[in-house]
Chain A
Amino acid sequence: MFVVAGLLVAPTAANAQAKIIGGPLIDLSAAPTINLSITDFPSKAGLYFLQCIAPTGPTRPTACNDAAQLWISSERGANFTPTANIVFKPAASYKTRTGEEIDCRKVSCGIYIRYDHNNGTDFSEDNFIALKFKSGDNTPTLVSDEITASIGGVALSQRNPITLAYRAPGLLLASAKSGAALTYKSYAPACTLVNGVVTALKGTGACDIGVTSPGNATYGAIEVHFPIYLTPGNDGIVHKAYPTSMKIYKSVTLINESLFGEKLKFKTSSKACRISSNKLIALKRGECLISITGPGVANLFAGVKDTHTITIQ
């Protein structure tokens, strides 16, 4: 990866495909604006741009500025598309989410670039663009607000995505250390976020839930992105829609559509009843055990496999 700003050329990552041009990268004020553009954007996934201290080993840096993070992707909800003029706003000093104070005039900071959550374990686009800030430009540092969140009782993480099944409703709960009122947004079309409930609309891929705190006098504003991996769901039936008891010699037409709209098949080996298509006839007193099945859809949901018991009286 080459970065050109004036005559600055950043170190080249061994396998990085993306080439980034822009600046300024040196003699930066306390709150600069850096304009960047990308060519040869990788096709596998999007990229994250993060302000972090320089990595010292093979692991990704963790002392990053949560308030200076960008998602570059063609997906809806990204901060910038791959062909856009990217505006990155780092800070001369910041506090990490663990409270560590980072002064980029004293330690080496820069823009850390990596694949986004769609290809998070691939390090081939990992790269670092060094930034140099002017000394003596002091501005007060606010600790970025801290947001904790969960979906369906499972804690969300920015780095370790949880999984959410297709159409399994997940109640999103979040709070900020500042106590400020939070706002929420689903950045990916594969998930909806309505009245605090996140619903996956696909059985594969990923979603990105953004939670924003305006901060307060003590804590700085922040938007935190929580990636979620999607998995196939399970179709089902509403047992309440089926009778639990019937009089002998009576018949009933069973609802033959699953929760996801698939056509159901009914079978029984019980002598107390007989089923033809979805019409059940009560023949003898006793238990009528019905086997209910329905088709699944690949990569979306597994079909119905359930039973229901009706007492014939």
Chain B
Amino acid sequence: MRKVLILSLLFGLALPQNSYAASKSITGEFGEILTASTTTVSDNAVITVTGKRFDESVGIYLAICVIPKLGFQPTPCGGGVNKAGVGEGSFWISSNPPPYGIGLADPFKPGGRFSYKIRVSKKIGKFDCKKVKCAITVRADHLRSEDRSYDLYLPITFK
């Protein structure tokens, strides 16, 4: 019993979610910065997520997603890919979208900025973010869906 307890504690300490949970900001490999008003949330809370210094020539999705294995596309995400550009769960940000995206995607503000209020649900499809690791996630939009260099994860913890 004592051995199990020690192993459980060690395993718990090794979880990456714990090590990142306090972070409210992350910088990507191109210098882009993703910031959240809080990363410790309750179900159905609304948080403010801002970005700056993003590459404005690359469209992105902003959503709450289950953190995938390293190198894999983030999925599933609350709100889906949201090509319609509506809802509170995910957002499509692109200054130069394809013709069908004009009026749907929001352009970046100067300085590669955006700011959204996101409603956070602990359930993403069948996944429970109290049991699996979830994060405020940015990824390149469907025009570069295989490009993982734009992925950013800001892990969230549910109270």
Contact B96 A297 (CB under 8 A): no
Q: List CB contacts (< 8 Å) of A173-209 with chain B.
A: 186, 189-192, 199, 201-202
The answer to the question of A260 belonging to the interface, with a C-beta cut-off of 8 Å to chain B, is yes
Report A172 CB to chain B, min CB distance, Å: 15
- Bound complex: CA A301 to CA B52 (Å): 13
Chain A residues near B110 (CB-CB < 8 A): 167, 259-261
Could you say which of A201, A258, A260, A261 contacts B96, with CB atoms under 8 Å apart? A201
Contact B113 A201 (CB under 8 A): no
Residues of A at the B interface (CB closer than 8 Å) are: 167, 186, 189-192, 199, 201-202, 235, 258-262, 297, 300-301
B 83-117 to A, binary, CB cutoff 8 A, 1 in contact else 0: 00000000000011000000000011111010000
Q: Which of B56, B95, B108 has the most CB of A within 10 A?
A: B56
Chain B residues near A301 (CB-CB < 8 A): 111
Report A303 CB to chain B, min CB distance, Å: 11
The answer to the question of B55 belonging to the interface, with a C-beta cut-off of 8 Å to chain A, is yes
28 contacts across the A-B interface (CB closer than 8 A): A167-B110, A189-B57, A189-B58, A189-B96, A191-B96, A192-B95, A192-B96, A192-B107, A199-B95, A201-B56, A201-B57, A201-B96, A202-B55, A202-B56, A202-B57, A258-B111, A259-B110, A259-B111, A260-B110, A260-B111, A261-B52, A261-B109, A261-B111, A261-B113, A262-B111, A297-B31, A297-B53, A297-B111
- Bound complex: CA A201 to CA B111 (Å): 9
Report B150 CB to chain A, min CB distance, Å: 13
Apart from A202-B56, A260-B111, A261-B52, list 9 A-B contacts with CB within 8 A.
A192-B96, A199-B95, A201-B57, A259-B110, A259-B111, A260-B113, A261-B110, A261-B113, A301-B111
Residues of B at the A interface (CB closer than 8 Å) are: 31, 52-53, 55-58, 95-96, 107-111, 113
- Bound complex: CA A25 to CA B31 (Å): 50
Q: Which of B95, B107, B109 has the most CB of A within 10 A?
A: B95
- Bound complex: CA A186 to CA B96 (Å): 9
- Bound complex: CA A199 to CA B96 (Å): 10
Chain B residues near A260 (CB-CB < 8 A): 110-111, 113
- Closest residue to A261 on the B side, CB-wise? B111
Chain A residues near B58 (CB-CB < 8 A): 189
The 7 closest A-B pairs by CB, nearest first: A260-B111, A201-B56, A261-B111, A189-B57, A261-B113, A190-B57, A201-B57
- Bound complex: CA A297 to CA B109 (Å): 15
Q: Is the interface of B mostly helix, strand, loop or mixed?
A: loop
Chain A residues near B56 (CB-CB < 8 A): 201-202
- Bound complex: CA A228 to CA B107 (Å): 21
Chain A residues near B107 (CB-CB < 8 A): 192
Chain A residues near B55 (CB-CB < 8 A): 202
Contact B108 A201 (CB under 8 A): yes
Contact A201 B95 (CB under 8 A): yes
- Bound complex: CA A261 to CA B111 (Å): 6
- Bound complex: CA A260 to CA B52 (Å): 9
Report B124 CB to chain A, min CB distance, Å: 30
- Bound complex: CA A94 to CA B70 (Å): 57
Q: Which of B53, B58, B96 has the most CB of A within 10 A?
A: B96
- Bound complex: CA A299 to CA B108 (Å): 18
Chain A residues near B109 (CB-CB < 8 A): 261
- Bound complex: CA A191 to CA B109 (Å): 14
- Bound complex: CA A201 to CA B56 (Å): 6
- Bound complex: CA A119 to CA B56 (Å): 23
Chain A residues near B31 (CB-CB < 8 A): 297
Report A66 CB to chain B, min CB distance, Å: 25
Q: Which of A192, A202, A259 has the most CB of B within 10 A?
A: A192
- Bound complex: CA A192 to CA B113 (Å): 16
Report A309 CB to chain B, min CB distance, Å: 25
Q: Which of A186, A189, A199 has the most CB of B within 10 A?
A: A189
- Bound complex: CA A167 to CA B107 (Å): 13
Report A196 CB to chain B, min CB distance, Å: 15
Chain B residues near A191 (CB-CB < 8 A): 96
Report A221 CB to chain B, min CB distance, Å: 21
Report A60 CB to chain B, min CB distance, Å: 30
Report B115 CB to chain A, min CB distance, Å: 9
- Bound complex: CA A301 to CA B58 (Å): 18
Chain B residues near A186 (CB-CB < 8 A): 96
Chain B residues near A201 (CB-CB < 8 A): 56-57, 95-96, 108
